[in-house]
Structure 1
Amino acid sequence: MKQRLNIQELEPNAYKAILEISKYLGETALSNNSKNLIKIRASQINTCAYCIEMHTAEALKNGEKQNRIFALSAWKESPLFSEKEKALLAATDEITQISNNGLTEDTFQKLKEYFTDNEIAQIIIQIGEINIWNRIAISTQMFHATSNVL
């Protein structure tokens, strides 16, 4: 299979705007660990193989433990994640699957226990940003175009 479209070439201004959001998020106070958990978890929910592969490698490079990555899809039951991380992951699940119930009040209040309002805003933007990339990668079949396996 080959890539359907190259959005970077077809819509360079839009692509550049998304890259600017990514650049901004790279400079926020959120820890690399938090950013990596958001990116991997949202990509799992969206079944974006391209982004799972990319962000898992990035997380490992940043010091994340393999067993935590392996357990990420079952984070609710896993003792490997702190309560702060579970609040972050709950928000990731709920915002990524926004049509289910939105960001619930319970999850929002849990976020407020561990994060400032500015950090919560950054978390919401980070979740939105990875969802944009997931949708681009899946819709254009980016993984299929770059993989030697498929």
Structure 2
Amino acid sequence: MEQRIDYAKAFPEGYQAMIHLEGAVRRSGLEPALLELVKIRASQLNGCAFCIDMHTKDARHKGETEQRIYALSAWRETAFFTGRECAALAWTEAITNIQQGHASDAVYAEVREHFSEAETVKLTWAIGAINVWNRVAVAMRPAVGGYEPQG
């Protein structure tokens, strides 16, 4: 597909606000590997090829295994993920798929078993941020495949 609009150039203030939010999430104390899993899973749910490409590459660059990346869309059917990761993935799905109902008390209770109050809020901001990126990328169609991890 061809890119529709270069969103960073068309609205640099909005783009920079998202970059600042990403920085805050990165410095939040949540595990980088967990954040990449959440970003991949939300991107899968939203059908965002650009973000799937980016975050699978970032995850591999940070040491994530191919097996876990490939199984992420069926994470409930494997024993590859920790309880904390499963809770984060369930929370990701619950607040990404809001057309199927809002985050249930059961999913909230599960995430709170593994995350403190502050961590739950930080995780929620991380999920919200990737959902914004997904929607912008799906709408504006940046070129997929050329992303290379930094550092």
- The bucket for the TM-score relative to the shorter chain is over 0.9
Partner of 2:92, secondary structure, is: helix
The residue aligned with 2:141 is 141
The residue aligned with 1:99 is 99
The separation in 2 between residues aligned to 1:54 and 1:136, in whole angstroms, is 14
**Deviation of the 1:87 alpha carbon:** 0.8
The residue aligned with 2:26 is 26
TM-score (norm 2): 0.92
The residue aligned with 1:60 is 60
**Deviation of the 1:29 alpha carbon:** 0.9
Give the direction of change, closer, same or farther, for the CA distance of 1:60–1:146 in structure 2 (3 Å limit): closer
Partner of 2:87, secondary structure, is: helix
Percent of pairs with identical residues: 36
Partner of 2:128, secondary structure, is: helix
The residue aligned with 1:70 is 70
1:109-130 per-residue CA deviation (whole Å, 9 max, x = no partner) reads 1111111100000110000000
**Deviation of the 1:144 alpha carbon:** 5.3
- Write out the 4+ residue segments of structure 1 that deviate beyond 2 Å after TM superposition: 143-147
The residue aligned with 1:118 is 118
Q: What is the root-mean-square deviation in Å for CA atoms of aligned residues?
A: 1.5
Q: Number of aligned pairs?
A: 147
Give the conservation status (yes or no) of the 8 Å contact 1:2–1:145.
no
**Deviation of the 1:145 alpha carbon:** 9.3
Q: Which amino acid aligns with 2:139?
A: S
1:86-121 per-residue CA deviation (whole Å, 9 max, x = no partner) reads 111000011111121211111111111111100000
**Deviation of the 1:71 alpha carbon:** 0.4
Give the conservation status (yes or no) of the 8 Å contact 1:137–1:143.
no
**Residues 1:2 and 2:7 aligned together:** no
**Deviation of the 1:2 alpha carbon:** 2.1
